Every structure is written in C-alpha cells, then in structure tokens.
Amino acid sequence: MSLEQKINQDIKAAMIAKDNAKLRGLRAIKAAILLAKTEKIQVEELSEDTEIKVLQKLAKQRKESGDIYKTQNREDLYQIEMEELQVIEEYLPKQLDRSAIEDIVKDIIAEVGATSIKEMGKVMGAANQRLAGQADGKTISEVVKSLLS
C-alpha cells in the first residue's frame, strides 16, 4: 500500500474519530504529496524516497515554525505545530540517535579516506545517501564536522 493510500485511509479514520489534530497533520501530508506529484512531471505514484523527502520537509517546517512560535511566546500556535509534527513523524522511518549516526559516519570517513575538514563534501555526500530518511541533514553535518575537526 502506498503512502498516499494509507494517508487517505487514516484521514477517514480521523474524521470518524473526530481527531482534529491528527486530521490537520494528515491533510498537510496529503497536500504535500499531491503537490509533489504535480510539481515536475505528472506521475501516478511517488517513489518511496520521494515520499520520505516530502515527509522530512514537512517535519522540518513544523519544527522551525514551532521554534519561532516558542520564542514569540505563542504557546497556542506552538502546540498546533507540535501536534502536526507528531502525526508526520508517525509516517517517517525511525530516526537514528546521535551515537548510531557517529558510528556510521566513522565508517564512511574510513571508506572515503577523509582526514581533514576540507574533505567534508565527500563524506557528506556518502553519509546523506546512506542515512537517507534515518537522520536529518543538520545532525549529519554536525557529526561530520565534529569527527573531521
């Protein structure tokens, strides 16, 4: 079952359960998927990688908006963003913790043969490919910098 089909089923279930927070998050996901399908080329189904990238983008937007609302003392809007973020994260692959990311990046550094921060681009390229969907780019970048410094 594709992500889009699962979202449609979950939207129906959330409507029946009158779960407004979940419904908002699911509708945001559905809108992003439809936008991605019509963005470049007309496609019937998105690849799994594209679906994960769409979900990661939505999660990142919610985190950034939540941080802004938190600093502006808008607890009501912050709460809405965090509720939607929780729903979005249910559909993302399990995120790795920092120590697991460090172990993988150490292996990549050994494979690539990087010795200085100047070779960060090589390491980041390989790390982003291997950790796609399992860690966000910001965390990967921080780990790579700390290990190459």
Q: Is the pLDDT of residue 132 over 80?
A: no
DSSP code per residue over 44-62:
SS--HHHHHHHHHHHHHHH
Residue 94 three-state SS? coil
What is the C-alpha radius of gyration for the chain, rounded to an integer number of angstroms?
A: 18
Provide the Cα torsion 30, 33, 34, 37; round to 10°.
Answer: -160
116 C-beta neighbours (distance < 10 Å), count: 8
Instruction: Report how far residue 77's alpha carbon sits from residue 74's, in angstroms, rounded to the nearest whole number.
Output: 6
The predicted-structure confidence for 45-100, as pLDDT tens digits, reads as follows: 778 878 888 888 999 899 999 999 999 999 999 999 999 999 998 988 888 888 88
